[in-house]
Amino acid sequence: MDVLNTMVIPLILGLTFFMFGMNVMSGGLETMAGGGLERTMKKVTSNDFLGFFLGAGITVAIQSSSAFTVMLVGLVNSGLLNFSNTFGLIMGSNVGTTLTAWLLSLAGLEGKWYIEILNPSFFAPILAFIGIVMQMFAKSSRKKDLGNIFIGFAILIFGMDLMSDSMVSVRTLPGFDSFLATLKSPIAALLISTVFTGVIQSSAATIGIVQALALSGGITWEMAIPLVLGANIGTCVTALIGSLGTNKNAKRVVIMHFAVNAFGSIVCMIIMYVLKAFGASILSAEIAMVGVAIVHTLFNAINTVILLPIKKFIIKFCELVVPDKDEKQHTVFLDERIFNNTPLAIAECRRLANEMAEYTRTAIMASLEIVWNFNEQKAQFVRETETLTDKYEDKLGTYLVRVSSNNLSEDDSHAVSRMLHSLNDMERISDHALNICGTAQEIKEKNIEFSKDAKHEIEVMISALKEITDITIDSFINDDFEAAAHVEPIEQVIDKLKNELKSRHIDRLQKGDCTVQMGFVFSDLLTNIERVSDHCSNIAVYTIQQDSPKLDTHKYLRKVKTAAVGNFLEEYGEYEKKYSID
């Protein structure tokens, strides 16, 4: 019973607090890091050296190599990353995750006061207090995230202290000598560490326990090295679970992660046995906490140096283990494996929203090209594109609503709100592109001939619509609120043109220069063009107001029209002259 109270329960509690603190700290770091690092990741992965440093940097930011590898699985599964380009990222991630061991090794610092203040146990309560104050009183979401990081770190250190305290009397336990005897077998120590890490799914926690044992003076270098190697192998289980149901390339990422860690462990074990055969005395010496951190870092750093030159053979091995075969493609817009990484999920939603915007542009432009010369092939392209934008709106809209339930920073909240508002308008523009195609087909099938004046008027409207569409889509994709401000003056000109053209058309009807049937077609074209410009106006306003806590399109437009915001009147006059029908 004394053993239960003095060691087992404190050890379990310490491990629980350690993992919870790691999760809280990682969440805060991940949110503060935002989607910028992940977007950069997709740009630099063709270079293994850049990928290495980026992988290390991101893992340092989120403090979890397992979470990073699961993220890679999701990106590869969605087709956002090439499988072969993940090698540098994985190796960098393995090195980046060793930072935790170095932070924990500070717990072993003893000496004068200016040395002991570096001990996390000294300043962790201070950080916890600061973090709680920031959570309670800070208004900025970034400050609250920073508070979360402080609180998570303090909880992590508290858990480490509990584990360390539970190990103080461990050497006096009756069965401890037998346990140490088991660990003296490197193979057994490797297997125990691998299984334990696979169960708890945290190599950092395993390394923390090894460091706690080291602090108690209970293990040697010969015992610690296999335990560290096993932690690196066992952490692959998280990614293995995350790869269930993915395509072949995503599974290859998991195989690569396991292969590099297993291969490196085998090499290190061979080296250790060779040193042991030559009687290296350091192996039988007791290891300190900092020694565990050194082993962890050296293993991953040396492993990278050894494996980098044979990257092609590792990739070939992964392809042999998971061969090419006919498989049903994983048709998703955004993989569920990146959902919990909010900044990355939002970044990928943004990328797909930009894709949808480009499809919307191509749809409306293609429909305008066939107004006078109907082409079935182009019309079919518009139909297919309109169906595709419907899917984008459905998938992205559903995903963004789910993401909005996460703990969002202020910037992320604005980004989600803006995309949700814009998706519907872009989908509606594609609908009107389809309507214009239908009108063009009617013109051809009924052999309708517009008068020279009517045709000229429609051409002016089409030219104005092309310009407003280009400005709208470009400003949306580039987050260019200055360019978006040019949209409303054109929209007002198009509104005026529509009313003027309807008036002229009625005059032609009264004079007998136009038929009723032609009038319906003419009116349909005007209506669809004007509606597209309205939706362009909405999207532009969302871009202009992207930093506003609440998007209010009507309020902004009223302000523009009544107060002549910026150069509105001047630009309106210029566009009015440019698109004059006289």
Chain position carrying tokens 């299984």: 195
Contacts of 558 (CB under 8 A, 6+ apart): none
Sequential DSSP letters for 112-169: SHHHHTTSHHHHHHHHHHHHHHHHHH--SHHHHHHHHHHHHHHHHHHHHHHHHHHTTT
Q: What is the pLDDT along the chain (582 residues), one digit of tens a residue?
A: 455 565 667 767 776 776 677 667 656 655 655 555 555 655 666 677 888 888 887 777 665 677 677 777 767 776 667 788 888 888 988 888 887 777 766 655 554 444 455 555 666 788 888 888 888 888 777 788 788 878 877 886 777 667 656 655 555 555 555 666 666 788 888 888 888 888 776 777 788 788 877 877 668 888 889 999 998 898 887 777 667 667 788 888 889 999 999 998 998 899 888 888 887 777 888 888 888 888 888 998 988 888 888 888 999 999 898 887 644 443 444 666 666 677 777 877 888 899 899 999 999 999 999 998 889 999 999 998 998 888 888 888 888 888 887 777 777 788 888 898 899 999 999 999 999 999 999 888 888 888 888 888 889 999 999 999 999 999 999 888 888 888 989 999 999 998 888 888 777 777 776 766 677 888 888 899 999 999 999 999 888 876 554 555 555 555 555 444 457 788 888 888 888 887
DSSP state of 46: T
Q: Are 39 and 77 in contact (CB under 8 A)?
A: no
Rounded Cα distance, 275 and 273, in Å: 5
Rounded Cα distance, 429 and 363, in Å: 8
Q: Are 223 and 302 in contact (CB under 8 A)?
A: no
Q: What local confidence, expressed as pLDDT, does residue 52 receive?
A: 86
The rounded Cα 162 to chain-centroid distance in angstroms is: 35
**pTM, rounded to two decimals:** 0.55
Rounded Cα distance, 404 and 136, in Å: 22
Taking the C-alpha atoms of 515, 517, 518 and 524 in order, what is their torsion angle to the nearest 10 degrees? 140
The letter for the amino acid at 551 is: L
Sequential DSSP letters for 49-66: HHHHHHHHHHHHHHT-HH
CB 217: neighbour CB atoms within 10 A?
13
The runs of H, that is alpha helices, within 487-515 are 487-511
CB 168: neighbour CB atoms within 10 A?
16
Rounded Cα distance, 414 and 544, in Å: 12
Region(s) of the chain under CATH 1.20.58.220: 339-578
Residue 300, sorted as left (phi over 0), alpha (psi -120 to 50) or beta, turns out to be alpha
Sequential DSSP letters for 407-474: ---HHHHHHHHHHHHHHHHHHHHHHHHHHHHHHHHHHHHTT----HHHHHHHHHHHHHHHHHHHHHHH
Query: CA distances (Å), 84 to each of 307, 430, 460, 579, in order?
Result: 14, 37, 51, 52
CB 91: neighbour CB atoms within 10 A?
27
β-partners of residue 220 are 286
For 371, list phi and psi in degrees, rounded to 5. Answer: -60, -45
Q: What local confidence, expressed as pLDDT, does residue 5 receive?
A: 60
Angle of the 342-369 helix axis to the 452-478 helix axis, nearest 10: 170
Q: What local confidence, expressed as pLDDT, does residue 394 receive?
A: 86
3-class DSSP assignment, residue 580: coil
3-class DSSP assignment, residue 286: strand
Q: Report the candidate in 156, 106, 108 with the shortest Cα–Cα distance to residue 131.
A: 156
Per CATH, domain 339-578 is 3.40.190.10: no
Three-state secondary structure of 207-264? HHHHHHHHHCCCCEHHHHHHHHHHHHHHCHHHHHHHCCCCCHHHHHHHHHHHHHHHHH
Rounded Cα distance, 540 and 554, in Å: 12
Element housing 106 (H / E): none
